Structure 1
Amino acid sequence: MIAVTGATGQLGRLVVTGLLDAGVPASGVTAVVRDPAKAADLADRGVVVAVADYTDPAGLQTALQGVDRLLLVSGSEVGQRVAQHTNVVTAAAAAGVGLLVYTSAPKADDTTLVLAPEHQATEEAIAASGVPALVLRNNWYWENYDAQVQQAAATGQLTGSSGSGRAWPASRADFAAAAVAVLTAEQPGTGVLELGGDQAFTLADLAAEVGRQTGTEVAYADLTPDEHRAALLAAGLDEGTAGFVVALDGNIAAGELDAGQGGISSLTGRPTRTLAEHVALVLGR
């Protein structure tokens, strides 16, 4: 039995459907969800739907009974994820899960990335549990830039404060395919895999690609952190969100997402989505 937590989320759902597409019998897949109504389509396909929240240790242990391989998709509640993830890890250990796969952050144990501390703490909890584990340190999603692509196409301008810092994005579908490959491998192994796309990019590259596809000039304005924060606040973001976005751009400027070409295509046997392909998808071209 293969179980996926957060199975109705953006990444988790792609993994569940990817397992089915890979030939895993629906009866051999457990979708761990908070709201079973959102998993009705999966249940209709024969997937086992187990109701358990990351804050529900007893429910998690029940949901994971009989599970051999588990994908723990990291939660979205920043500040609460260590406790939530630890509940899943503890339940996996109690249920005798044979392999725990976790979606972590790039270079989680050696980075200033603002997102990393909770991931590092989760990796430490997994290691302490004794459950055999494979950590997938996912780089950036192309989808993180969808709003900026649309804004650049509409206004002819893209702003940020990441300088010439590079990331190695891939699509959610690419990261999901990598997880499927691991979960269905005959001998998936344990340890840590840094996963990214085949192509690095900067925000200047993004602006240039939007300009190429729209046939208009799109300029990238690289702002100071203070200028960037002020622009985000003027656009309606709250102080906390604006600060978080600026911190992430600072991390990118410092090279924290420049982890090198990595991993996904070697697992899946196909190239990851390119910048040009993703821009075209967002613009409906």
Structure 2
Amino acid sequence: MTIVVTGATGPLGRHVVESLLARGVPADQILATGRAVEKIQDLGVRAQRADYNSPEELKRAFDGAEKVLFVSSSEAGRRIAQHTNVVEAATAAGVGLLLYTSIANAGTSDLILAGEHQATEELIKGSGLPYAFLRNSWYYENYDFRGAVQNGVYGAAGNGRISAAARADYAEAAAAAVVRGAGRVYELGGPGFTLAELAAEIAKISGTEVTYTDLAPEKYQEFLLSVGLPEPAAVVLSDADRGAAQGALEVDPADMRDLLGRPAKPVADAIRAALA
């Protein structure tokens, strides 16, 4: 049996490989792929170059694979072409299960970020392959907790709840789904918080007054530009908060708890680690 993890040279994919090993999957049954394979030689599993832009590399990597964990490309705006290469290679190889890291509520979301994920889900459904979708909500790592102590929390999410979780928990959940091997849709995230609750938690842990300033989405975009974010990032992040205000990043934590066998780690743990 071979389990292929794509994008294993990135932080999420690497965590997935480590989680598979921790779950007892033999190292010789794991093939970690990516562009910079020298980054994963230390993991003790088989490693092979497979660039999403190279159909031939993907076909070689997927040959004989029983399961493929397909970590979505980090190159927003180029994902559809790259993801098409991955799905076509997996289809040609006849993989037994294709698991894809998507976005929360992809079936209904109107977030800018959701568009390429929705297109990829449709590609996978049309492939005829057995599949599972791992629809990840927001990441704790998206927040600058240290900066918030100095400057407060700014956003446009209103009272919307954001079911964020740690990258390591998303990776562990993905590894559990791979081992379980069930073809289904998982909506993944933690219990969640509003940005006002996040500011209060940062204040409690830091011992510093931290407030949340809620802005209109267009004003939040202007704020992000003013602190140096590139325009594409500012557009996407302000739109994410706009959607979060309407529930786009809120999910039931049950799927995450089921896969982990425990609740997702609370945001307080991430704040403490960032401020240590």
Q: TM-score range by the shorter chain?
A: over 0.9
How many angstroms does 1:234 deviate by?
1.7
Aligned counterpart, 2:214: 222
- Residue 146 (structure 2) pairs with residue 150 (structure 1): yes
Q: Kindly provide the CA deviation profile for residues 205-234 of structure 1, in whole angstroms up to 9, marking residues without a partner as x.
A: 111011111112111111122322222222
Q: What are the ranges of 5 or more consecutive residues in structure 1 without an aligned counterpart? A: none
- Deviating runs (4+, > 3 A) in structure 1? none
Instruction: Give the Cα–Cα distance (whole angstroms) in 2 for the partners of residues 115 and 152 of structure 1.
Output: 24
Which amino acid counterpart does residue 123 of structure 1 have in structure 2?
E
Q: How many pairs does the alignment contain? A: 275
Q: Kindly provide the CA deviation profile for residues 133-178 of structure 1, in whole angstroms up to 9, marking residues without a partner as x.
A: 0111111111111x1x1112123x2111111111111111111111
- SS of structure 2 residue aligned to 1:263: helix
Which amino acid counterpart does residue 239 of structure 2 have in structure 1?
A
Aligned counterpart, 1:2: 3
Which amino acid counterpart does residue 200 of structure 1 have in structure 2?
G
The one of 105, 108, 127 aligned to 1:129: 127
How many angstroms does 1:131 deviate by?
0.9
- Residue 103 (structure 2) pairs with residue 105 (structure 1): yes
Which amino acid counterpart does residue 225 of structure 1 have in structure 2?
P
The one of 244, 254, 258 aligned to 1:252: 244
Give aligned-pair identity as a percent: 47
Q: Kindly provide the CA deviation profile for residues 106-141 of structure 1, in whole angstroms up to 9, marking residues without a partner as x.
A: 111211111111111111111111111011111111
Q: Is the 8 A contact 1:114 1:251 kept in 2?
A: no
Where does 1:203-214 land on structure 2 (aligned, <5 Å)? 203-214=195-206
Instruction: Give the Cα–Cα distance (whole angstroms) in 2 for the partners of residues 230 and 134 of structure 1.
Output: 38
How many angstroms does 1:256 deviate by?
0.9
How many angstroms does 1:191 deviate by?
2.5
Aligned counterpart, 1:79: 77
Aligned counterpart, 1:21: 22
Instruction: Give the Cα–Cα distance (whole angstroms) in 1 for the partners of residues 109 and 142 of structure 2.
Output: 20
- SS of structure 2 residue aligned to 1:277: helix
Instruction: Give the Cα–Cα distance (whole angstroms) in 1 for the partners of residues 95 and 268 of structure 2.
Output: 40
Aligned counterpart, 1:190: 183
Aligned counterpart, 1:243: 235
Aligned counterpart, 2:48: 50
Q: What are the ranges of 5 or more consecutive residues in structure 2 without an aligned counterpart? A: none
Where does 1:30-49 land on structure 2 (aligned, <5 Å)? 30-42=31-43, 45=44, 47-49=45-47
**Aligned-pair Cα RMSD in Å:** 1.2
